[in-house]
């Protein structure tokens, strides 16, 4: 039996029992009619266009991030050790002030930022693009 999965709009062939006893009663799929199949195919094409656009936007975001220097001021002792580690939210806010909006899941540092100076921050975007930028911590 052909069904259309409700979450992904994919059209697949499944066993009759599986469709009637599980997928359709649980709302995970509907029976595939000729009209429904055409609508699902149109939706898939639309999703492909949207995904392609998002991939281009993420590539542009990676280029914007590449090599920028983001500065944050924080209080430190004479040795240059900060009184507290720089929070991820502070890094994201500093990047946002440069006009670049990143999600927390995309950003990582190799170790907690606890010293004055330059630190490399890695950005791994959902499309697989990877880049880095410099986080410069100044004494407040």
Which structural domains are found in the chain, ordered by start? 2-62 (3.40.5.10), 64-139 (3.10.430.100)
Classify residue 5 as left (phi > 0), alpha (psi -120 to 50) or beta: beta
What would the pLDDT profile of 20-45 be if each residue is shown by its tens digit?
999 989 988 888 888 878 877 777 77
Of the candidates 59, 129, 68, the residue with the CA atom closest to the CA atom of residue 99: 68
Question: In the predicted model, what is the mean pLDDT of residues 91-107?
Answer: 92
What would the pLDDT profile of 55-74 be if each residue is shown by its tens digit?
888 888 889 888 899 999 99
pTM for this model (two decimals):
0.62
Pairing of the two strands 2-5 and 11-13: antiparallel
Q: What angle do CA 68, 69, 73 make, to 5 degrees?
A: 155
Q: φ and ψ at 132, to 5 degrees?
A: -135, 160
Quote the CA–CA distance of 59 and 128 in Å, as a whole number: 9
């Amino acid at each position: 039996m052909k069904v259309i999965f409700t979450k992904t709009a994919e059209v697949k062939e499944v066993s009759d029992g599986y469709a009637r006893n599980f997928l359709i009663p649980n709302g995970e799929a509907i029976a595939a009619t000729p009209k429904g199949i055409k609508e699902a195919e149109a939706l898939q094409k639309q999703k492909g266009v949207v995904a392609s656009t998002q991939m281009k936007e993420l590539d542009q975001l990676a280029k914007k991030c590449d090599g920028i220097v983001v500065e944050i001021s924080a209080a430190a002792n004479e040795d240059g050790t900060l009184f507290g580690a720089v929070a991820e939210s502070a890094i994201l806010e500093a990047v946002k002030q440069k006009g670049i909006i990143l999600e927390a899941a995309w950003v990582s540092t190799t170790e907690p930022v606890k010293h004055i100076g330059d630190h490399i921050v890695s950005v791994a975007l959902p499309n697989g693009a990877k880049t880095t930028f410099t986080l410069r911590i100044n004494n407040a």
